[in-house]
Structure 1
Amino acid sequence: MKNIFLLLVISSIFITACTTNAITGRSQLSLVSEESLQKEAVTQYNSILSKNTVVSNTTNKDAEMVKRVGKRIAAAITKYYSDKGLSKELAGYNWEFNLIDSKEVNAWCMPGGKVAVYTGLLPVTQNEAALAIVLGHEITHAVAHHGQERMSQALVAQGIGLTGDIFTSGNGQANNIFKSIYAPGAQVAVLLPNSRKQEYEADHYGLIFAAMAGYNPREAVPFWTRMASLNSGSKTPEILSDHPLDAKRIEKIKTYMPEALKYYQPINSK
């Protein structure tokens, strides 16, 4: 009986706390407010920056490029949402773009537009358009509330109380979940198939945002091919990974390309 009661409680939570994403149209579990996530993001983002070497964008061309590309992607996203009458979806966004000196091949975006790129990623992106593909992808995770969805799933899975502000109520578990879902590694995969669905959504809309920002979305295919080559020695079976296999991702990206190209207006990149 206890198990049945618990199942009914969990089911009721999923039914009453699901929202429809304004852009993707997909139903998402939403137990944590965007406002609280953005507040926590500011704290965690500043903490990460303070513990790492941030490359100055006033003296370093790569750091300046990260900021330039980031601003263009952010402007494209703002226009995309505005054109659809959804500007309120970006409420509270205060964009920041920083390059962190690290060999790690990584980039991420926290709620509220807190973005970091690692120098180890740049030899793989190789050019500004490929960097735009990555930033479009990572920022889509934030604006599409993917982290919010995964955190909500984790809270339910771990039976963490949902009353009040979970970040200020001394709930260490909640803070740990936030850190594991958002930067720097994002290794938590609560529901693996759903996580792969999020990855495809990030690829899809990330291409559109990069194209709107003036970057050729076709650059996504050679970039992910380079990533596939980089990962060739340490492949994880797809069933155990929250990211799609590289070959599947590339094929899926090709199907998104015609739509993305409709938004593409080239710019003269520096």
Structure 2
Amino acid sequence: MTSRSARRRTLPLAVGGAALLLALTACSSSDSSDASDSPSSSGSAATSTASPKVSGTVTVFAAASLKETFTELGKQFEAAYPDTKVTFNFGGSDTLAASITAGAPADVFAAASPTTMQTVTDAGDGKGTPSTFVRNQLEIATLPGNPQHIATLKDLTKSGLKVALCAKTVPCGSAAQRALTASSLKLTPVSYEQDVKSALTKVELKEVDASVVYQTDVKAAGGKVDGVRFPESAGAINDYPIVELAHAPNTAGAQAFIALVKSAEGQKVLTEAGFLNP
């Protein structure tokens, strides 16, 4: 996973891609030495202190709910840096955090909650302070047409209704539990899923009547599910932090990818998918 022999890509850069390249290059060059700021510094001196060229494989561990948006950003990144290849590992944030602390090689970690991110930083596997780049809010996913006429969070407790939830250790599951507790509701699901996409799939396959997922997941599913918003979700919004990992095989690539995620272009992709501003 740490090889820098990734095959050169020849994707054409559109005008927007060229602009993105300039923006990201500026971000990756911001750590140049003080010597380059001196009035007497020559052009060659400034060049010699520039950040390393971004190339090779960039490995990103990211919460399952980021799959669609990060895949799109990965394509933009590879277009801006033709000598790179972005590989992703999407899953439950708690599972990804455990893999990282166990030594799995990765460059970037994007979690769906500060709690799971803290697992990584407390173990000394994060480099610097994680920063929140988006937030996400819960929504009820139902079968198309909402045949069970689910309108509230309380409706999920109806007798005979089959509901799937994310596991309590997963950020989407923890947020759902906060909303249920705040409403003094008790819900026993037919299954606890290890990530939000698995909970959504239960509805898409008609194995359950509903599940509690994120608004972004309902939107990404299109007509495969219907969405029901509920006011209690406002008190259970999850922050999404991102960090470069301490033992990142590709430091330059990690920093450039995080810069893209936090850039105006990256934020546009995320907010258009339904994520909330940090």
> Which category of TM-score, normalised to the shorter sequence, fits these structures?
under 0.3
Higher relative contact order (Cα pairs below 8 Å, separated by 6+ residues): 2
Please say which structure displays the higher CA radius of gyration.
2
Q: Which has the higher helix share?
A: 1
Q: Which has the higher strand share?
A: 2
TM-score, with length taken from structure 1: 0.27
TM-score, with length taken from structure 2: 0.26
